[in-house]
A and B are shown apart, each in its own frame.
Chain A
Amino acid sequence: MNNEVETIEADVLIIGAGGAGMRAAISVNDAGLKPVMVTKSLLGKAHTVMAEGGIACALGNVDPQDNWMVHYGDIIEEGVYISNWKMAEILGKEAPERVLELERYGALFDRTPDGRIMQRAFGAHTYRRLAHIGDRTGLELIKTLEDQVLHRNIPFYDEMYIIDLIKKGNKIIGAYGIKMDTGQTFIFRAKSVVIATGGSGRVYKVTSNSWESTGDGIGMAYRAGVVLRDMEMIQFHPTGMVYPPGVKGLLVTEGVRGEGGILLNSKGERYMLKYSPQKKELDARDVVARANYREIMEGRGTEHGGVYLDITHKGPDFIKHKLPAMYQQFLEFAGVDITKEKMEVAPTVHYMMGGIEVDAETEKTNLDNLFAAGEIASGLHGANRLGGNSLSDILVFGKRAGDSAVTYARSSKLEEIPNEAVQAIKEYVMHFFREDGKNPYELIDRLTTCMSDNVGIMRDEDHLQKGIKIINELKEEFKEVGTKGGLRYNHGLMGCLELGNMLVSCEAIVNCASMRKESRGAHARSDFPKKDPAWKANINTLMDEQGNMKFEVKPAEEMPEEYKAYVKPEVYE
């Protein structure tokens, strides 16, 4: 390993350059402090780019009855009453301003006939609420923020893989990383740190997530002593591509259903009329995903193991205008013309509602001077996220995390980085270089298969116990993984490092899933099919003194009386 470590100083270090990280960096810069942003992929390639359907914000442009209270109610109800109510309120109130800000930054939203920002319908949103740019909303969001970052001359280091956070007492004081394209190692010293590294979707075999979503942030935060919550809550998007195999899991936007697409089984039945007579195809994602799963499991699936999604009745002009990326995606990957043929789709792992527990208003974690925002943070979405809320989440809470990091940085100083901490991280990296190491990708393959087979859309204790057993075995085998070559652009090394982080997410997900003996939102159990009032609670995951994972159950926080008027009361069968 190259012994010459370069040290970079910042007021605020931002780990991750998706929507949340970039919005946080803009806040820090505009407050007159020095941000430094690092990202595992190239600038502008983060998973945000994959978001399609839109940004949920109660602008009320199309349905004037909409307002933050209705949005709030939708979040709480579809999060099945274990969301952080304060975060839901903040999102409902602040999302419209963040969207208008994005417009001022240059984002060009689709328009209503009278020229205002267009809003489309999406699953379980009471009103048409999603501001959008066709079905490429994430691309527009990230390119718009990227331009702002570049013109503000915000320092960034892309293809920088952060291995661990560095701590002094209870305070985070920096991080250590490898710049993949040069092999150079870096120490970052910062007065505060924002972690915005996204989710862990790639711990599953079939997922809509980008390569980078391996839960690196979850791993490093957990090792530093951060408290995680709701890790069992994994969202399965109802519609991922099933064919060809190379793109299995790739997202088919909910916008297809928002614009009138219907779901059919191989018998041609529109089965959502049976599962959800009121909301039909536009019910919450967990409901539609389980319906699709059941149709496939009960033998009414398609040739490639999916169900049909049909939008042909809308006609070619409408489809090419409203869903241009979907039209192109099916034509180019599957050879299917969606203006003439039905799409084949099946559930795919899409989003992690769980993650780092944060304070609702400041996004501060339980450690000092460490903040989290975006998919890696938890609380807002409870047991199920509504489509379009992730893009408003990253803007609203990305900004707030940046603002809070500024406040903390102003009253902090740069700390000396202890040599032992750096040495320990170096040794961790170096121990992977060996001649006889096991191939990390072979273990990753077994891990992701285990997660899809045992901790999937429908869970039961037998499978979860099997999952726990396999994960424990893989944790042992992880001690023997290794690679050859050097530090520069070495995917073998990346595989080793990522696997270590993926194991943290998996262990938390499977154990929390086993503990929660009920079905709530995205967490569905065939052995406990009903919702249980005793489980109106959140499960925290953290490290105990011996370095083992421990879990704590705590009741969900009650919202103030006056807010209950915005929400339907919770009903138990």
Chain B
Amino acid sequence: MSDDISVKVFRFDPETEKEGKYVEYKIPYVDGMVVLDTVRYVEEKIDPTISIRWNCKAGKCGSCSAEINGKPSLMCKTRVDEVGKNITVAPMAAFPLIKDLVTDVSKNWDIARKIPMFTPKEGLEKPWRINPKDVERSKEFKRCIECFLCMDVCHVVREHFTPYFGPRHIVKAASWDMHPLDGLDRSRMLNEEGGMGYCNITKCCTDVCPEHIRITDNAIIQEKERAIDRQYDPIAMLIKNARKKEKVVK
């Protein structure tokens, strides 16, 4: 690729404007460029008042989430040579807009507070011992960088007013539920308070996860099955309770 690329960025200041519009910028192409480089070029060379959010520029912090050509993506990890010379960048639609590409993701903290924190089983001998193999399941979920792209793509979160916590938060709960020394079971709470039943496992969240966490298969379906076991299979519940000594959180 050579020459200029065209980047259309959604510009909107809800405090002073009635509606937003896409503004096109011409950016000189540099080998290996990512979409974040293009909007930073706008910020540094064309219009410093453009609002973007970024931090590590390395796919580790999850700040620069946006919808690139309609797909929820991290700007820092989307290479220009993969999406073509005509790029459209819009803010995440599932969250209230602050300005331009920046959205208000703070409701995630409210949800995070509702999910009971890591609670070690009682009477563990110190220092704790954990079989190396038992670390793996929870570890997948702990890769989450909280970019909230899974929340953005989820049609339940995006289009419907439901109590559903959303995929990020099921992943969080699963990371504790599958921690080998955690003493709680959050599945019932996720179902009742967290509206997990609204998820109809379309797997869109898994598709957009930049950390390749198999959100639907490994977190949501697992938690759904646990919840159903708890609800409809009292014998299985008794056996599990006896074996794992887990407290069910309501």
Contact = CB atoms under 8 A, between A and B. Distances in A.
Interface of A: 41-45, 47, 49-50, 100, 103-106, 108-118, 133-134, 136, 138-140, 143, 147-148, 150-151, 153, 158, 181, 210-212, 243-247, 250-251, 325, 328-329, 332-334, 439-442, 445, 483-485, 488-492, 495
B142 A491 contact: no
A151 B184 CA distance: 16
Contacts of A245: 30-33
Nearest to A100: B127
Interface string B163-189: 000000000000010010010000000
A111 B131 contact: yes
B58 A50 contact: yes
Interface in B28-62: 30-34, 36-37, 43-45, 48-62
A134 B144 CA distance: 14
B130 A115 contact: yes
Interface residues on B, range: 35 or more
A441 B113 contact: no
A114 B145 contact: no
17 contacts: A42-B55, A45-B63, A47-B55, A100-B127, A108-B130, A108-B138, A111-B132, A139-B60, A147-B118, A158-B106, A250-B57, A329-B58, A334-B32, A441-B43, A445-B44, A488-B99, A491-B52
Contacts of B100: 489
Nearest to B49: A485
A484 B59 contact: no
B20 interface: no
A244 B31 contact: yes
A73 to B, nearest CB: 25
A246 B102 contact: no
Contacts of B212: 328
Contacts of A210: 55-57, 61
Contact of A181 (B60, B102, B131): B102
Contacts of B84: none
Nearest to B30: A245
Contact of A148 (B117, B127, B138): B117
Nearest to A321: B136
A334 B81 CA distance: 12
Given A45-B56, A106-B176, A489 B98 contact: yes
B104 interface: yes
A50 B49 contact: no
B112 interface: yes
Interface of B: 13, 15, 30-34, 36-37, 43-45, 48-63, 77, 79, 98-100, 102, 104-106, 109, 112-113, 117-118, 120, 127-132, 135, 138-139, 142-146, 176, 179, 182, 212
A215 B48 CA distance: 21
Nearest to B54: A211
A134 B138 CA distance: 13
Contacts of B57: 210-211, 246-247, 250
Contact of A134 (B58, B59, B139): B139
Contacts of B53: 42
B118 A106 contact: yes
A111 B128 CA distance: 10
Contacts, number: 168
B129 A115 contact: yes
A211 B117 CA distance: 30
Nearest to B147: A45
A47 B56 contact: yes
A42 B145 CA distance: 12
A194 B179 CA distance: 33
B49 A492 contact: yes
Most chain B CB within 10 A, of A243, A246, A440, is at: A246
Given A106-B176, A332-B59, A43 B109 contact: yes
Given A115-B129, A140-B142, A495-B48, A250 B58 contact: yes
Contacts of A147: 112, 117-118
A119 B153 CA distance: 39
A488 to B, nearest CB: 6
A441 B44 contact: yes
A490 B49 contact: yes
A133 B175 CA distance: 14
B56 A246 contact: no
A332 B77 contact: yes
Contact of B61 (A49, A117, A483): A49
A49 B145 contact: yes
A45 B61 contact: yes
Contact of A211 (B56, B60, B179): B56
Contact of A489 (B63, B102, B138, B179): B102
Contact of A49 (B48, B56, B143): B56
Given A50-B58, A139-B60, A246 B143 contact: no
Contact of B63 (A41, A105, A492): A41
Contacts of B45: 441
A490 B90 CA distance: 18
A106 B56 contact: no
Nearest to A144: B118
Contact of B55 (A117, A212, A246, A492): A212
Contacts of B52: 491
Nearest to A41: B55
Nearest to A59: B127
Given A212-B55, A490-B49, A104 B120 contact: yes
B94 to A, nearest CB: 16
Contacts of B104: 181
Nearest to B36: A246
A116 B212 CA distance: 28
Contact of A115 (B99, B132, B145): B132
Contact of B33 (A104, A244, A439, A492): A244
A484 B131 CA distance: 58
A442 B46 CA distance: 11
Given A47-B55, A103-B128, A181-B104, 6 more contacts: A118-B132, A246-B30, A246-B34, A250-B57, A440-B48, A442-B44
A42 B64 CA distance: 11
For the complex of A and B, the 4 pairs showing the least CB-CB separation, nearest first, are A244-B32, A492-B48, A106-B118, A115-B129
A119 to B, nearest CB: 13
A255 to B, nearest CB: 14
B34 to A, nearest CB: 5
Given A105-B118, A329-B59, A136 B143 contact: yes
Contacts of A113: 132
A116 B129 contact: yes
Nearest to B51: A489
B48 A211 contact: no
B132 A110 contact: yes
A109 B31 CA distance: 38
A244 B29 CA distance: 13
A246 B49 contact: no
A332 B81 CA distance: 12
Nearest to A115: B129
B138 to A, nearest CB: 6
A143 B55 contact: no
A64 to B, nearest CB: 14
